[in-house]
Amino acid sequence: MLAAVAQLSSSSAAFTPVAPASRPAVQFRSPVMSAEEPASRRQLFARAGAAALAGSAMVQGASAKAGQFGKVDIFGYAMSSPFQPGGPKSGADATYGYAKTDGPILAADYQADITREKASFDKSVTVIKGQSANIDSKTWWLVRDNLRGQAYTMKANMRALNGVNANKAAADKAYAKFWSEINALDLACQKKELALAQKEYADVLAALDAYIALV
């Protein structure tokens, strides 16, 4: 009987769970600052500011003098400042500092070619001469809008035409007369006075024909 009880005790002990071994507790410690590290935020920012000033001083020391440009060489060709030692930097024969020209000037006498300006001027003339119906119908806003739409381009074209005109003084005078009449027509349209607008429009056409005769 006692032998059976002892056997039962030993067998039950075999099924008893064994407590796991305890692990050492994890401890969190604040990092210990060395003597070389800054003791506060103020010291940290002070060091960062000193480093920035030192870097700035180094950049300033390496920068070019006032008025100088950087020089970039690509495949043996300098692509930096146009102010190179050499020939004239202004005038008709300017080389912008280079010693001499190499070949003919490609843009020579470009101002004498007024083909594009003349074609644009002719388009403006068509618009100016097409305002009679708008005036007679008292469509004042459209007349003024068409005049303003041509003013900038037409003035530039007329100045280009005047520049190559053999009688430039007469062309300049006719130019001033035409735009004076345009201003008078614009004012008549602003006042919405039909008789006055028709009269001023006739003066505009006469001044325009006088200018066309010169160019």
What is the distance between the alpha carbons of residues 46 and 25, in angstroms, rounded to a whole number?
40
What pLDDT, on the 0 to 100 scale, is given for residue 169? 95
Give the tokens for residue 36. Answer: 């070389």
What three-state secondary structure class fits 78?
strand
What is the distance between the alpha carbons of residues 125 and 128, in angstroms, rounded to a whole number?
5
What is the distance between the alpha carbons of residues 150 and 131, in angstroms, rounded to a whole number?
12
Residue among 83, 197, 168, 178 at smallest CA distance from 121:
178
What pLDDT, on the 0 to 100 scale, is given for residue 87? 57
What pLDDT, on the 0 to 100 scale, is given for residue 48? 75
What is the distance between the alpha carbons of residues 172 and 210, in angstroms, rounded to a whole number?
12
Compute CA 115 distance to the chain's CA centroid, rounded to the nearest angstrom: 30
Q: DSSP string covering 127-168, please?
A: HHTT-HHHHHTT-HHHHHHHHHHHHHHHHHHHHHHHHT-TTH
What pLDDT, on the 0 to 100 scale, is given for residue 214? 94
In the chain, ranges of CATH 1.20.120.290 domains: 111-214
What pLDDT, on the 0 to 100 scale, is given for residue 5? 47
Give the tokens for residue 151. Answer: 């003013």
Compute CA 153 distance to the chain's CA centroid, rounded to the nearest angstrom: 23
Q: What is the pLDDT along the chain (215 residues), one digit of tens a residue?
A: 545 545 545 555 555 555 555 555 555 555 555 555 545 777 777 777 777 656 555 544 445 554 455 556 666 555 555 555 555 566 666 666 566 666 666 655 666 778 899 999 999 999 999 999 999 999 999 999 999 999 999 999 999 999 999 999 999 999 999 999 999 999 999 999 999 999 999 999 999 999 999 98
What is the distance between the alpha carbons of residues 131 and 143, in angstroms, rounded to a whole number?
6
Amino acid identity at 173: K
Asked whether the beta carbons of 136 and 201 are under 8 A apart, the reply is no
CATH number of 111-214: 1.20.120.290
